[in-house]
Amino acid sequence: MKHPDERAWWRDAVIYQIYPRSFADGDGDGTGDLAGIRARLDHLERLGVDAVWYTPWYASPLADGGYDVADYRAIDPVFGDLAEAEAVIAEASTRGIRTIVDVVPNHVSDQHPWFQAALAAPPGSPERDRFWFRDGTGPDGDGMPTGWTSSFQGETWTRTTNPDGTPGQWYLHLFTPQQPDLNWNNADVRAEHEAVLRFWFDRGAAGVRIDSAALPAKDPALPEVPETWGAGEHPHLDRDDLHDIYRDWRAVADSYGTGPADERVLVGEVWLPDPERFALYLRPDEMHTAFNFDFMTRPWDAKELRESITRTLDAHAPVGAPPTWVLSNHDITRPVTRYGREDTSFDFAAKRFGTPTDLELGTRRARAAALLTGALPGSLYVYQGDELGLPEADIPRDAIQDPMHFRSGGVDPGRDGCRVPLPWTADGPSHGFGPDDGAPPWLPQPDGWGDLAVERQAGDPGSMLTLYRRMIAARRTEPGLRDDAFAWLDLPGALPGDDADVLAFTRGTGFACVVNLGTESVALPDGATVILASAPLTDDGRLASDTAAWCRL
Ligand code: NOJ
């Protein structure tokens, strides 16, 4: 075991995700901003996180919450300016908190100067070559070049209009029409992104989170998506030439130094069902880590979670990369809601309005899930508000802003329910999100939001916030958790099999985590001393249903 100071920080970091629109509003316009974040850095320090990841804060029309970037070198005025971004990176750093920024290589905003120049330029021009412009099919060119389906449902091509008003070429967008896809075979696209990485690393960013990282490379022949495909054969997913891009990015990151203090890290948003293909992105000369969505989407079920944990550890071991553990993010139904439903798994396509939810049960399980993920080897992501146990909010239909809702024809509630501005104080018109005389929050806060406020939970030993603070503190001090070693512990009820309802494992020597996902209480290992539990033990010292405990053995 290495001394903590010699370990690369990102291998076991706790990384807090800030969605800047909804964290804290400093200027009172109803939208969160950098001034708000700077004023609330105490919260992050008290929580004990090692790094913050900011979803995009760049100049953007916010057609997709900022994942439509118009200028990577400018902060959107609604959030502040570049000097404030530099200040918040520096101030966090003095508190021992590193900064990870978001980069979106698959697409830019349709307001990006490159796309505007491409629209103004003729077919076949260098300006259009940075994107995927194609003639339509059929005699009038009014058929889409491919029948590919968008990640947000619906079509992936939009037709342009020529300067003389006649219909023009089509352009590709795997997401909304406001997010044209870039052509990664174009040298400008590659050079520009490497320059963007340097721009933010030069300003103190310790890493980048890479958006939709398995999508940017396309088959230039633009064939239809086949019914089944072999490794690397899909026309726009997980293509082999992506690895060259990330090797180039790794070289940029490594040029800042590879020692524990100066290392710059690449964190990929890689949604892939095949763990072996996933792990290829984590080879030593590519990304440092990638989000473990397999675990995140699994139901609250011991067999499923055990299988995902084993699969995750097995896939990461050969490439030497640490796993990551994620319960949610700004795209995913909040854990206390998800775990309180009949179907506790996550699937974008399954989201519906009015799904019955038992929040008490969901909260109990989310507390146990926090201790489970916190005890696994690797890095841990905490999405803002999960440390408060915020539920997914029901957003009134006329207040919904997420394009996923609109592109589903109004069937999918979209992702705004996990993006509601945070409650800091029990009282006040926005529960301390903004100044009391400020504009209302950009998304409405539901009834009862004040009960979940930071201020309310901070002094409460039974709160979700207290659990998260204790967990993160114990991750630093428990020797077993500073060690990569992991072994399943075969307690009664924890043997692999269909009827298993307990997850139990050791870390290093002398540390165990036990999670009871069943309905009956279970015994803890003989001689175990509980140092942290997600709910009180039973009167006879057993682990109750939907409870996790960290123990010294
Ligand atoms: C993944 C991001 O997390 C999501 O919010 C965004 O809509 C898509 N990528 C497109 O950039």
Question: What letter does residue 43 receive in the DSSP assignment?
Answer: H
Nearest-CA residue for ligand 1 atom 2 is 211
Amino acid at 371: L
Q: State whether the beta carbon of 104 lies less than 6 angstroms from ligand 1.
A: yes
Mark whether 332 and 398 lie in a shared domain: yes
Here the CATH number for the domain that contains residue 216 is 3.20.20.80
- The helix (run of H) or strand (run of E) holding residue 247 is helix 242-254
Here the CATH number for the domain that contains residue 506 is 2.60.40.1180
Q: Residues 6 or more apart from 187 whose CB is under 8 A from it?
A: none
Mark whether 134 and 214 lie in a shared domain: no
Mark whether 427 and 359 lie in a shared domain: yes
Nearest-CA residue for ligand 1 atom 11 is 67
| Domain assignment present for 475 | no
pLDDT at 498: 62
67 CA to middle of ligand 1, Å?
Answer: 6
DSSP 195-213: HHHHHHHHTT--EEEETTT
The 3-state DSSP class for residue 215 equals: coil
Domain, as residue range, for 192: 9-107+186-464
Q: State whether the beta carbon of 109 lies less than 6 angstroms from ligand 1.
A: no
Mark whether 415 and 363 lie in a shared domain: yes
Mark whether 207 and 340 lie in a shared domain: yes
Nearest-CA residue for ligand 1 atom 6 is 67
Q: Residues 6 or more apart from 347 whose CB is under 8 A from it?
A: 297
| Cβ atoms 549, 514 nearer than 8 A | yes
241 CA to middle of ligand 1, Å?
Answer: 21
Mark whether 72 and 139 lie in a shared domain: no
Mark whether 217 and 305 lie in a shared domain: yes
66 CA to middle of ligand 1, Å?
Answer: 9
Amino acid at 356: P
Amino acid at 221: A
| Cβ atoms 413, 406 nearer than 8 A | no
pLDDT at 500: 82
Question: What letter does residue 66 receive in the DSSP assignment?
Answer: T
Ligand 1 atom nearest to CA at 403: 7
Q: State whether the beta carbon of 211 lies less than 6 angstroms from ligand 1.
A: yes
Q: Token pair of 472, please?
A: 């993160």
| Domain assignment present for 4 | no
Mark whether 148 and 205 lie in a shared domain: no
Question: What letter does residue 261 receive in the DSSP assignment?
Answer: T
Query: Number of structural domains, the chain?
Result: 3
209: left (phi over 0), alpha (psi -120 to 50) or beta: beta
| Domain assignment present for 161 | yes
| Cβ atoms 100, 53 nearer than 8 A | yes
| Domain assignment present for 229 | yes
Here the CATH number for the domain that contains residue 155 is 3.90.400.10
423 CA to middle of ligand 1, Å?
Answer: 24
CA dihedral 317, 201, 246, 324 (to 10 degrees): 30
Measured between alpha carbons, how far is 488 from 418 in angstroms, rounded to an integer?
33
Ligand 1 atom nearest to CA at 404: 7
| Domain assignment present for 138 | yes
Nearest-CA residue for ligand 1 atom 10 is 67
Pure H helices in 255-399: 275-280, 293-297, 302-316, 335-338, 359-375
Give the strand pairing for 547-552 and 167-172: unpaired
Question: What letter does residue 187 receive in the DSSP assignment?
Answer: H
Q: Token pair of 43, please?
A: 């919260």
Q: Token pair of 125, please?
A: 């021009």
Q: Token pair of 154, please?
A: 């619906």
Q: State whether the beta carbon of 516 lies less than 6 angstroms from ligand 1.
A: no
The CA–CA distances, whole Å, from 513 to 73, 356, 429 equal 44, 31, 41
Pocket test for ligand 1, best of 22, 62, 67, 210 (most atoms within 8 A of CB): 67
Measured between alpha carbons, how far is 97 from 50 in angstroms, rounded to an integer?
5
Amino acid at 141: G
Measured between alpha carbons, how far is 136 from 127 in angstroms, rounded to an integer?
19
Sheet holding 157-161, edge to edge: 133-134, 167-172, 157-161
| Domain assignment present for 306 | yes
| Domain assignment present for 3 | no
The CA–CA distances, whole Å, from 40 to 33, 93, 451, 454 equal 11, 14, 19, 11
328: left (phi over 0), alpha (psi -120 to 50) or beta: beta
Q: Token pair of 253, please?
A: 């990151």
Considering the entire predicted model, what is its pTM?
0.97
Mark whether 139 and 238 lie in a shared domain: no
Measured between alpha carbons, how far is 95 from 90 in angstroms, rounded to an integer?
9
| Domain assignment present for 515 | yes
Strand ranges for 491-546 from DSSP E: 502-507, 511-516, 529-533
DSSP 77-128: TTT--HHHHHHHHHHHHHTT-EEEEEE-TTB--TTSHHHHHHHHSPTT-HHH
Measured between alpha carbons, how far is 20 from 32 in angstroms, rounded to an integer?
5
| Matching residue, tokens 């960290």 | 550
Measured between alpha carbons, how far is 31 from 33 in angstroms, rounded to an integer?
6
Q: Measuring CA to CA, which residue among 178, 157, 158, 162 is closest to residue 122?
A: 162
Q: Token pair of 363, please?
A: 């909260």
Mark whether 208 and 124 lie in a shared domain: no
Mark whether 443 and 324 lie in a shared domain: yes
Mean pLDDT by 10 residues, the chain (553 residues): 66 97 98 98 98 98 98 98 98 98 98 98 98 96 96 96 94 98 98 98 98 98 96 97 98 93 94 96 98 97 96 97 98 98 97 97 98 98 98 98 96 98 98 98 97 97 98 95 91 72 94 96 94 97 97 95
Q: State whether the beta carbon of 175 lies less than 6 angstroms from ligand 1.
A: yes
Q: Residues 6 or more apart from 268 whose CB is under 8 A from it?
A: 209, 210, 213, 214, 246, 281, 287, 289, 290, 291
Task: Let me know if 277 is exposed, middle or buried by CB neighbors in 10 A (0-12, 13-18, 19+).
Answer: middle
122 CA to middle of ligand 1, Å?
Answer: 30
Measured between alpha carbons, how far is 351 from 330 in angstroms, rounded to an integer?
15
Mark whether 251 and 155 lie in a shared domain: no
159: left (phi over 0), alpha (psi -120 to 50) or beta: beta
Q: What angle do CA 447, 45, 424 make, to 5 degrees?
A: 15
